[in-house]
Structure 1
Amino acid sequence: MPQERTSPLRAVPGATPKERAALGKAARKRAPRSSHEVYEPPADRQDPLAILEAQSAARVQELVPIRYGRMTESPFRFYRGAAAVMASDLSGTPDSGIRAQLCGDAHLLNFRLLASPERHLLFDINDFDETLPGPWEWDVKRLAASLVIAGRANGFSDKERAHIVRATVRSYRESMIRFAGMRNLEVWYTQTDEGRLKALAADRLASRGRKRMARATAKARTRDSTQAFDKLTEVVGGRLRIAADPPLIVPVADLLPEGAERSATEKQFRTLLRRYGRSLPSDRRSLLADFRPVDMARKVVGVGSVGTRCWIILLLGRDGADPLVLQAKEADSSVLAPHAGASAYRNQGERVVAGQRLMQAAGDIFLGWERVEGFDGKRRDFYVRQLRDWKGIAEPEQMVPRGMAAFGELCGMTLARAHARSGDRIAIAAYLGHGKVFDRALQTFAERYADQNERDHRALVDAVATGRLRAAGAGTK
């Protein structure tokens, strides 16, 4: 099995902590910390709409207008769908030369509540479609800019947004310094569980914010396969099936007429399940074998992912009240690949799974990958996970400045821990240092990039208005 190089900076065998810290400080000459405030679009900047169109060309064409429709709704929704645009822009910004495994799309809504295999509620990064080794700064910059964009949508003042970004970046920096002093296993076992969340809320949030967080954690526990089963299924002609909600959810029976083609497709997905099981540890493979597939449907997900091939698969265990709902999502090359280098994994689904396992403190027990042939005869890579497993997502539009700052601190700490598991945490910490130079630089960068994002969003709205691109409304997740 091919292996990603997870710690490129540690290319010097046996480097001591002192030597690794020296490498981090030396990186300040390559990219002074204050230089990270820079964002000036070059004269030859690639047309952001051309980047989106190139992505759309490989997607399900009937769903592409939904993607554009969702992205036109607001600058923040545009940002969620424009990871490829920002990856291109970040490739021209300063970086320290220190690499780590990146999320690749570290905006604030990709940090959320989820369940550990031991059924503990954790806070962690959730989306790894774009994961790849690259400059650690890129993730921090995407997170910082997302907070400014969300803050502007809420009408926060310049001063309030500045405080939010500085608090977030300070949290990343101070957390990385803390991780630099830990033993390797201590870093690996670090996680933010419910107890830690409550402690942070008590320290950072007012009574109203603490109550909202308590409701969010309670709600997250209800979002599992049983809840998905109750919401997504119906009985038709005495047969349990996934309920249609076109174009967002379309069962395979509605996509293909009954006959040889549908039978072949259903067989392909049974094969996918069996073969994907080989990517799981043996105990989880045994558990998967105790479920039988019942139905499947195409599902529209997210904003940036709209148009990629995504299937939900309903399985049953001991009886009709023992459901498992899996999501098989197409995995293409990371948007970072043209700028950070191609993945060492031949299967893009494996790339996603490997990155997720490396960055998350605890992962979905059914997380795996496979390659399957589609309706059109083309072979595509997929990764598979549970559709829902205690997932709780933030609602930034409900946040006050104090609450968003606290959430940003939590995200910064979580991102630092994820980077510390793969990159050279000692070198990154030494590069950042104890001063506020990097914090202030990213505050400036985030505002400048939010300006660019607003211009790009306006360009998309204008392109739809003039007929260059077609947009359609179909709900927003």
Structure 2
Amino acid sequence: MAVPNAFTASMSPAERAAYGRNARGRAPRSCHGRFEADENRPDPVEVIDRQSESRLTELVPIRYGRMLESPFRFYRGAASIMAMDLGSVPNTGLTVQLCGDAHLLNFRLLASPERHLVFDINDFDETLAGPFEWDVKRLAASFAIAGRANGFPAREQNGVVRACVQAYRQRMREFAGMRTLDIWYAQDDADRMRELLASSMDKETRRRTAEATSRARTRTHLQAFAKLTRVTAEGRRIAPDPPLITPLGDLLTDSSQDAEEKELLAVVDGYARTLSSERRHLLRHYRLVDMARKVVGVGSVGTRCWILLLLGRDDGDPLLLQAKEAQESVLAAHTEGDRYDNQGRRVVTGQRLIQTTSDIFLGWTHVVGLDGQGRDFYVRQLRDWKGIARPDTMDPGLLRMFARLCGNSLARAHARSGDPVAIGAYLGGSDRFDRALTDFAQAYAARNERDFEDLGAAARSGRISTESL
């Protein structure tokens, strides 16, 4: 993989800053405040429908049903639409490893391998190298949409978005003055979070923050194990909850069962070869006992996703892995970045570059299915200390605080892969970029609502089928 900031690495800090400021000629900061859909913009329903063609047909109605629950749920499933829109406007050319789907619910509390609680990006299905502002715009728009969903007045919505973008800009400028290794080692652990938020946390906010971190520590693989499995005559197995969780045996006919089991065993064997030697050794202490298909998220519904139940010493020593199909990033058609021979490898490479502490069982593989089609997968633990935000329960002050956390975290992720000196110089010390992104977020939130309405009209006319679960 090409390092995004390889070009500027040979420059002096002054030259890198000048390079960043010169990017304003390609894309003035004020230009980011405008968004008007091109008259030749493709039909958003067609864009989503094309993406569904490679997915499991019987699950696609669930995807549409989830997207039609609210404009925010639609936004989560419409990364391909926004990639198309961002690819059609001028960009800075200041490249980072993008998350690719940096909406606010992709930032959460996670467990580091050292068992510390950290705040970081969680989902990397769309990761690819590209202009840094694409992630910032997707994150900013998600806060505007969340503010609208909560019924906040425009002034409060804008305050939340400004807090996010300002936090990103200010922290990027901090990284511009730091040593390279210090940037790489930086992480947003619990102590860092308290430091960032100390000045804005009242007694109630401190209480809710403490509760959130405590809940995250209870969301372990053992909790998932208790919830998702049961004891049967054959031993511990994954509990069915169709169509959201369907054990392998319930999906197969007698004639196909052996072949499908061999295919999924090949997923595990191929994946294990991508782990480091000591982690392969650790994995060998477990045996695979059951598998089930799982419906996940909003944007990923219809892609092939499997839960793998492995046991170590006994039934009280579980390991739950998730093998998720990786398709080409929605950004690929709009960038000139690297192309990968395995999309699972793309996801894992991007995650390791962006996250400070990645899952020790993170890996990838390629499998040829019963239909003769080759598919890429990435594998990770199903759940490990994950704390998920609930923006619908937040007042403006709490959502603004969460926006600051997300902006800070995204800046740290970008500084690891991009050039913080160039990006910091482009952003500058004024709030011009913050104001522009606030205008963009509102314009795009309005566009998202119209696209949401178009999908609803398609459902009412029978153009698409939906299923609510």
Letter in 1 for 2:455: L
Which residue does the alignment assign to 2:97? 101
Deviates more, 1:295-304 or 1:219-228: 219-228
The question of whether the paired residues in 2 share the 8 Å contact of 1:217 and 1:392 is answered with: yes
For residues 371-408 of structure 1, what are the alpha-carbon distances to aligned partners after superposition, in whole Å with 9 as ceiling and x for unaligned? 01223221100000000011111000011111111111
Separation (CA, whole Å) in 2 of partners of 1:375 and 1:472: 27
Which residue does the alignment assign to 1:217? 213
The question of whether the paired residues in 1 share the 8 Å contact of 2:259 and 2:370 is answered with: no
1:288 paired residue among 283, 286, 310: 283
The 1:187/1:326 distance shift into structure 2, 3 A limit, reads: same
The 1:13/1:101 distance shift into structure 2, 3 A limit, reads: closer
Give the alignment of 1:326-475 within 5 angstroms: 326-341=321-336, 343-474=338-469
Which residue does the alignment assign to 1:252? 248
The question of whether the paired residues in 1 share the 8 Å contact of 2:109 and 2:388 is answered with: yes
For residues 99-130 of structure 1, what are the alpha-carbon distances to aligned partners after superposition, in whole Å with 9 as ceiling and x for unaligned? 11000000000000001000000000000000
SS in 1 for 2:467: coil
Give the alignment of 1:35-434 within 5 angstroms: 35-257=31-253, 259-341=254-336, 343-434=338-429
SS in 1 for 2:380: strand
- The count of corresponding residues between Structure 1 and Structure 2 is 469
Measure how far apart 1:219 and its partner are: 1.1
SS in 1 for 2:324: strand
Measure how far apart 1:306 and its partner are: 0.3
Which residue does the alignment assign to 1:17? 13
Deviates more, 1:235-244 or 1:350-359: 235-244
SS in 2 for 1:392: coil
TM norm structure 1: 0.97
The question of whether the paired residues in 1 share the 8 Å contact of 2:129 and 2:337 is answered with: no
Letter in 2 for 1:82: A
The question of whether the paired residues in 2 share the 8 Å contact of 1:251 and 1:297 is answered with: yes
TM norm structure 2: 0.98
Separation (CA, whole Å) in 1 of partners of 2:209 and 2:453: 34
What is the Cα-based RMSD across aligned positions, in Å? 1.1
The 1:13/1:413 distance shift into structure 2, 3 A limit, reads: closer
Separation (CA, whole Å) in 2 of partners of 1:18 and 1:235: 64
Separation (CA, whole Å) in 2 of partners of 1:341 and 1:94: 14
Letter in 2 for 1:43: E
Letter in 1 for 2:79: A
Measure how far apart 1:138 and its partner are: 0.3
The 1:17/1:41 distance shift into structure 2, 3 A limit, reads: same
Measure how far apart 1:469 and its partner are: 0.5
2:27 paired residue among 24, 31, 34: 31
The question of whether the paired residues in 1 share the 8 Å contact of 2:8 and 2:419 is answered with: no
The question of whether the paired residues in 2 share the 8 Å contact of 1:38 and 1:93 is answered with: no
Separation (CA, whole Å) in 2 of partners of 1:201 and 1:16: 34
The question of whether the paired residues in 2 share the 8 Å contact of 1:81 and 1:304 is answered with: yes
Percent of aligned pairs sharing the same letter: 59
SS in 1 for 2:126: coil
For residues 241-295 of structure 1, what are the alpha-carbon distances to aligned partners after superposition, in whole Å with 9 as ceiling and x for unaligned? 11100000000010003x3421222122222212211111111111011000010
The 1:13/1:128 distance shift into structure 2, 3 A limit, reads: closer
The question of whether the paired residues in 2 share the 8 Å contact of 1:277 and 1:285 is answered with: yes
Measure how far apart 1:194 and its partner are: 1.2
Separation (CA, whole Å) in 1 of partners of 2:21 and 2:306: 47
For residues 147-182 of structure 1, what are the alpha-carbon distances to aligned partners after superposition, in whole Å with 9 as ceiling and x for unaligned? 000000001111101111111101000000000100
Separation (CA, whole Å) in 1 of partners of 2:442 and 2:13: 35
Which residue does the alignment assign to 1:7? 4
Measure how far apart 1:320 and its partner are: 0.8
The question of whether the paired residues in 2 share the 8 Å contact of 1:294 and 1:316 is answered with: yes
The question of whether the paired residues in 2 share the 8 Å contact of 1:167 and 1:405 is answered with: yes
Separation (CA, whole Å) in 2 of partners of 1:12 and 1:351: 23
The question of whether the paired residues in 1 share the 8 Å contact of 2:361 and 2:381 is answered with: yes
Measure how far apart 1:60 and its partner are: 0.3
Separation (CA, whole Å) in 2 of partners of 1:343 and 1:29: 25
Unaligned 5+ segments in structure 2 are: none
Letter in 2 for 1:385: R
